[in-house]
């Protein structure tokens, strides 16, 4: 049957509400795809007229997954607008908070969200625990490695299955021929799924110590809200003292250990079984990468020499041509809405975020099949998503770990280059292999390795700076609105776990006149633009063979490799209800 249509709605094991449509040719190869954000949340509208010092607390609620990063980007935007410089300790603590987020988020993504696209849970029941133990011992020094330990996990799993309560493991495509791991490696993966739950909970304690809680730790315009006093015993509620610094250092060391002994070796042990996936999912029509840069070594300095994660754009995979990215240039970043459920005065013109408009308009247009309450197919020629289409210099871009690792490699940045080279030589693939589903997944793992080390570096740096006599956490000189200009605007660039994140603000008369967020998943999950260019998810699916048409595991693999967050991307719920949990193949 020619041109089979597949609708996956909702895509599960992600954050938020995403629908993917794909068209397959006679050979079950995907030839067209559409990405739809099915929810709108309106935070940009809610912010209008509010105090810019509060904005971080609102935008942080865009998402509970990449928690904290929207606050960081928001305080940076307001500080940029008001000309506020932050103290050194604040810069270090913000880096530490962000590195913590990366480790927790990447680990959760690999084991809880993406891992089950590669690991067949039910196959693990047939594993020989002794062999799993041998594999574990061969790949790392991880302490939990005895045959008895793996047997115990397998028995727990067996009870689960026998009771008919697979729970969170139910409704998957177990047994699909696209699963290639031997039972023993599957058992290893399931075991670490369970172990990593404990680790990621431990890691986020850093947020609860320095930011009061997780999700949604506290931030502050002008610095960080945690007082510093190294000699305090904690009785006053001072969370940066010697006791807590030591505690955070222990967490950082445990995080390094888990990522080095479990996450990285697991992925490298699985990769040889999925080598094809170094060639699939790269985005055949665009190898365009976008990074804003982050982790400034020096406070208030986002220049190249300061950044651990680089700024830059790569077009068509040309690694020897790196373009600087300027978030303030009105011609570089523009959002289009001709395929989205929003309206602009000039429908096909793009708007820079400082001039951005968020004006929702839901309508079903040409090519759409079904009714408002049962949409069977959304036409690509009309509006089909709550996600806007951001473009850089007119190009659709991919952002995230793949973009950051490859850009840093192209820039010959030492830490990333070493990580990439080591992994590629182990896997026996060239740098071009990074432009793929498995390359994206590998890039995220390498980034987790780097971020765990960054956590430790930040703790050491913080302790040394405080011990050198600096206990300043915030600069409150421009706290009072009477000190602000009548009109100003700012932007807060950041690198979130899923990619380049920016919040743009316009402040007039002491309140927010306009606020726009363009987030990583807005870039990656973008629909088409007026030129018909596909967004990154859409492009990545082209050319993908699907083994069993009514089990679109391959679509999940590639889409999950981006780690979608639709709450972030679509930042009032459509009242036109949509059916849940339905896979259509026609
Ligand atoms: Ni809600 Fe997010 C991240 C941001 S968007 S997860 O990382 O910013 O993709
Ligand atoms: Mg937006």
Q: Ligand 1: which of 66, 98, 214, 400 to mutate, judged by most atoms within 8 Å of the beta carbon? A: 66
Whether ligand 1 lies within 6 angstroms of the CB of 521 is answered as: yes
Q: Is 458 a catalytic residue?
A: no
Whether ligand 1 lies within 6 angstroms of the CB of 568 is answered as: yes
How is 8-49 classified by DSSP, letter by letter? EES--SSBS-EEEEEEE-TTSBEEEEEEEE-----HHHHTTT
How is 270-326 classified by DSSP, letter by letter? HGGGGGGGGTSSS-TT---EEE--EEESSTT--STTTEEEPPEEESTT-TT--B---
The pLDDT, as a whole number, for residue 581 is 33
Whether ligand 1 lies within 6 angstroms of the CB of 63 is answered as: yes
Q: Ligand 1: which of 44, 65, 214 to mutate, judged by most atoms within 8 Å of the beta carbon? A: 65
pLDDT exceeds cutoff 80 at 507: yes
- CA 57 to the chain's CA centroid: 20
Q: Is residue 98 part of a domain?
A: yes
CATH of residue 399's domain is 1.10.645.10
Name which of 155, 162, 193 is nearest 13 in CA terms: 193
Q: What is the mean pLDDT of residues 214-233?
A: 92
Q: Is 445 a catalytic residue?
A: no
Write down the H helix ranges in 473-512: none
Question: What digits encode the pLDDT tens for the residues 145-170?
Answer: 999 999 999 999 888 878 876 666 66
pLDDT exceeds cutoff 60 at 531: yes
Task: With beta carbons less than 8 A apart as the criterion, state whether 454 and 95 touch.
Answer: yes
Q: Ligand 1 atom closest to Cα of 73?
A: 8
Question: What digits encode the pLDDT tens for the residues 364-421?
Answer: 998 999 988 888 999 999 999 999 999 999 999 999 999 999 999 999 999 999 999 9
Separation between Cα atoms, residue 456 and residue 251, nearest integer Å:
9
- Please count the CA atoms within 13 angstroms of the CA of 209 that sit on its side-chain side: 25
Minimum mean pLDDT range among 64-78, 103-117, 167-181, 256-270: 167-181
Q: Is 395 a catalytic residue?
A: no
pLDDT exceeds cutoff 80 at 584: no
| Number of domains the chain contains | 1
Whether ligand 1 lies within 6 angstroms of the CB of 567 is answered as: yes
Give the model's confidence band at 83: pLDDT under 50 very low, under 70 low, under 90 confident, else very high.
Answer: very high
pLDDT exceeds cutoff 80 at 521: yes
Residue found by looking up tokens 């895509």 in the block: 11
The pLDDT, as a whole number, for residue 433 is 95
The pLDDT, as a whole number, for residue 276 is 95
Q: What is the mean pLDDT of residues 289-299?
A: 98
**In percent, how much of the chain has pLDDT > 90?**
79
pLDDT exceeds cutoff 60 at 80: yes
The DSSP element (H or E) to which 335 belongs, if any, is strand 333-336
Q: Is 140 a catalytic residue?
A: no
Ligand located closest to 74 CA = 1
Q: Is residue 340 part of a domain?
A: yes
Q: Is residue 90 part of a domain?
A: yes
Q: Ligand 1 atom closest to Cα of 517?
A: 8
Q: What is the mean pLDDT of residues 52-81?
A: 94
The pLDDT, as a whole number, for residue 547 is 87
When the pLDDT of each residue in the chain is averaged and rounded to a whole number, the result is: 92
Question: What digits encode the pLDDT tens for the residues 96-106?
Answer: 999 999 999 99
Q: Is 521 a catalytic residue?
A: yes
pLDDT exceeds cutoff 50 at 336: yes
Whether ligand 1 lies within 6 angstroms of the CB of 139 is answered as: no
Q: Ligand 1: which of 294, 500, 519 to mutate, judged by most atoms within 8 Å of the beta carbon? A: 519
pLDDT exceeds cutoff 70 at 582: no
Length of the chain (residues): 586
Q: What is the mean pLDDT of residues 54-61?
A: 95
Is 565 known as a binding-site position? yes
Q: Is residue 106 part of a domain?
A: yes
Write down the H helix ranges in 204-241: 205-211
Q: Is residue 423 part of a domain?
A: yes
- Higher-scoring residue by pLDDT: 167, 85: 85
Q: What is the mean pLDDT of residues 476-496?
A: 97
What spacing in Å lies between the alpha carbon of 381 and ligand 2's midpoint? Answer: 22
Q: Is 103 a catalytic residue?
A: no
What spacing in Å lies between the alpha carbon of 237 and ligand 2's midpoint? Answer: 37
Q: Is residue 257 part of a domain?
A: yes
**In percent, how much of the chain has pLDDT > 70?**
95
One of 498, 503, 528, 560 is an active-site residue; which one?
498
pLDDT exceeds cutoff 50 at 355: yes
Q: What is the mean pLDDT of residues 200-214?
A: 93
Work out the burial of residue 148: count CB atoms within 10 Å of its CB; fewer than 13 is exposed, 13-18 middle, 19 or more buried.
exposed
Whether ligand 1 lies within 6 angstroms of the CB of 66 is answered as: yes
Provide the β-strand partners of residue 464. Answer: none
Whether ligand 1 lies within 6 angstroms of the CB of 69 is answered as: yes
pLDDT exceeds cutoff 70 at 194: yes
Q: Is residue 563 part of a domain?
A: no
Q: Is residue 576 part of a domain?
A: no
One of 17, 35, 66, 106 is an active-site residue; which one?
66
Expressed as residue numbers, the domain containing 398 is 41-116+200-216+223-367+381-540
Question: Any residues with CB less than 8 A from the CB of 295 and at least 6 apart, and which?
Answer: 95, 98, 99, 307, 308, 309, 454, 495
The pLDDT, as a whole number, for residue 231 is 84
Complex ipTM = 0.95
Q: Ligand 1: which of 60, 520, 571 to mutate, judged by most atoms within 8 Å of the beta carbon? A: 520
What spacing in Å lies between the alpha carbon of 400 and ligand 1's midpoint? Answer: 10
Question: What digits encode the pLDDT tens for the residues 259-291?
Answer: 999 999 999 999 999 999 999 998 756 799 999
- Higher-scoring residue by pLDDT: 6, 353: 353
Structure tokens, 164: 């008919």
Q: Is 352 a catalytic residue?
A: no
What spacing in Å lies between the alpha carbon of 543 and ligand 1's midpoint? Answer: 27
Separation between Cα atoms, residue 443 and residue 450, nearest integer Å:
11
Separation between Cα atoms, residue 405 and residue 309, nearest integer Å:
9
Q: What's the pTM?
A: 0.95
Separation between Cα atoms, residue 466 and residue 583, nearest integer Å:
56
Question: What digits encode the pLDDT tens for the residues 542-576?
Answer: 999 998 888 888 999 999 999 998 877 765 333 34
Residue found by looking up tokens 């719920």 in the block: 573
The pLDDT, as a whole number, for residue 577 is 38
Question: What digits encode the pLDDT tens for the residues 322-332?
Answer: 999 999 999 99
Q: Is 152 a catalytic residue?
A: no
Q: Ligand 1 atom closest to Cα of 400?
A: 7
Q: Ligand 1 atom closest to Cα of 520?
A: 9
pLDDT exceeds cutoff 50 at 580: no
One of 123, 145, 521, 561 is an active-site residue; which one?
521
């Amino acid at each position: 049957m020619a041109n089979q249509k597949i609708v996956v709605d909702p895509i599960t094991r992600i954050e938020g509400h995403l629908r993917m449509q794909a068209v397959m040719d006679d050979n079950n190869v995907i030839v067209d795809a559409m990405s739809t954000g099915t929810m709108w949340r309106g935070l940009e509208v809610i912010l209008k007229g509010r105090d810019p010092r509060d904005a971080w607390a609102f935008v942080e609620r865009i998402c509970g997954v990449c928690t904290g990063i929207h606050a960081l980007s928001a305080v940076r935007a307001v500080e940029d607008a008001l000309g506020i410089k932050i103290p050194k300790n604040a810069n270090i603590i913000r880096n530490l908070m962000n590195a913590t987020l990366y480790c927790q988020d990447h680990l959760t993504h690999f084991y809880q969200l993406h891992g089950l696209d590669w690991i067949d849970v039910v196959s693990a029941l047939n594993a020989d625990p002794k062999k799993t133990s041998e594999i574990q011992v061969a790949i790392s020094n991880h302490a939990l490695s005895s045959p008895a330990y793996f047997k115990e996990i397998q028995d727990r799993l067996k009870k689960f299955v026998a009771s008919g309560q697979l729970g969170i493991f139910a409704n998957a495509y177990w047994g699909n021929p696209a699963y290639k791991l031997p039972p023993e490696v599957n058992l290893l993966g399931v075991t670490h799924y369970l172990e990593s739950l404990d680790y990621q909970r431990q890691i986020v304690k850093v947020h609860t110590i320095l930011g009061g809680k997780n999700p949604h730790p506290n931030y502050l315009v002008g610095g960080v809200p945690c007082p510093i006093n190294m000699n305090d015993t904690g009785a006053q509620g001072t969370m940066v003292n010697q006791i807590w610094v030591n505690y955070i250092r222990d967490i950082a060391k445990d995080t390094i250990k888990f990522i080095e002994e479990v996450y990285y070796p697991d992925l490298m042990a699985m990769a040889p079984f999925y080598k094809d996936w170094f060639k699939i999912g790269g985005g055949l029509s665009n190898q365009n990468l976008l990074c804003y840069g982050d982790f400034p070594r020096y406070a208030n300095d986002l220049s190249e020499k300061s950044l651990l994660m680089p700024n830059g754009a790569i077009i068509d995979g040309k690694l020897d041509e790196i373009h600087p990215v300027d978030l303030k240039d009105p011609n570089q970043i523009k959002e289009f809405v001709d395929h989205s459920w929003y309206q602009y005065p000039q429908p096909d013109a793009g708007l820079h975020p400082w001039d951005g408009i968020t004006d929702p308009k839901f309508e079903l247009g040409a090519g759409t099949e079904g009714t408002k309450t049962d949409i069977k197919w959304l036409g690509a020629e009309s509006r089909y998503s709550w996600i806007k289409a951001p473009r850089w210099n007119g190009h659709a871009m991919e952002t995230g770990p793949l973009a950051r690792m490859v850009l840093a490699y192209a820039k010959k940045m030492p830490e990333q280059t070493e990580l990439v080279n080591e992994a590629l030589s182990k896997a026996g693939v060239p740098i071009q292999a990074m432009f793929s589903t498995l390359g994206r997944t590998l890039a995220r793992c390498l980034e987790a390795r780097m971020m765990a080390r960054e956590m430790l570096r930040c703790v050491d740096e913080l302790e040394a700076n405080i011990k050198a006599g600096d206990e300043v956490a915030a600069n409150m000189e421009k706290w009072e609105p009477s000190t602000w200009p009548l009109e100003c605007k700012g932007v807060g660039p950041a690198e979130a776990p899923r990619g380049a994140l920016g919040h743009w603000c316009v402040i007039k008369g002491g309140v927010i006149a306009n606020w726009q967020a363009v987030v990583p998943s807005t870039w990656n999950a973008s629909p088409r633009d007026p030129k018909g260019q596909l967004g990154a998810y859409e492009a990545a699916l082209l050319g993908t063979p699907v083994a069993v048409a009514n089990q679109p595991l391959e679509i999940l693999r590639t889409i999950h490799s981006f780690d979608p967050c639709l709450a972030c991307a679509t930042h009032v719920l459509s009242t036109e209800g949509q059916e849940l949990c339905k896979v259509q193949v026609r």
